[in-house]
Amino acid sequence: MKFLEPSLIALDVEAETAEEAIRLAGGLLADAGAAETRYAEAMVESYRDKGPYFVLAPHIALPHARAEDGVKEASVSLLRLKKPVVFGHAANDPVQLVFALGGSTSSEHIAMLRKLTVLLSNPDNVEAFKQAADVDTIQQLIRGNEQ
C-alpha cells in the first residue's frame, strides 16, 4: 500500500477546475506506478456522472473510481491546491485538499479510508495539511498519527 508517500504528494498546485484537480491527483498515482494513466480519467467520469459526492468535509475531496479502472496497487495521493476550487458541493466547497484513492480490493479501500479518517477527523490535522510548508512536514504529521 502506498499511503501519502512523498512521491504521492504535490503542494500548492494550480488547477482551474475540479476536473483538472482530479486529473492532477490521479496523475500522482500514475507517476508512482500505483495506477494506470486511465484511472485519472475514470475518476473524472465518476465525478461527471455522480457529482461531487466525494467532497466529504469542508475543503476536502476524495475522488476515486473502481479498481478495474486501472488501479495497480492500493494507494492514496494528496494534491494541495494553491487556490481552492469549486467542485459543486453545497456545504463543503471550495476544495483545497484532494486525496485521490486507488483501492485494488474493497478491504484495502476500507483500510485506506480508515487511515484517512483518523487523520482528517482532527481539525488540527486538516489545518496542518493546509498550512504545511513542505512534504517533510506532512510526512511528520502522518507518522505522528499512525496507530
Q: What are the residue numbers of the active site?
A: 64
Query: Which of 130, 31, 126, 119 lies closest to 82, judged by CA?
Result: 130
Rounded CA-CA distance 36/57 in Å is: 27
Please report which residue ranges of the chain form alpha helices under DSSP H. Answer: 18-31, 38-50, 106-120, 123-131, 135-144
Whether a cis peptide bond, with omega within 30° of 0, leads into 94 is yes
Rounded CA-CA distance 46/63 in Å is: 8
Question: In this structure, what C-alpha cell is assigned to residue 118?
Answer: 483518523
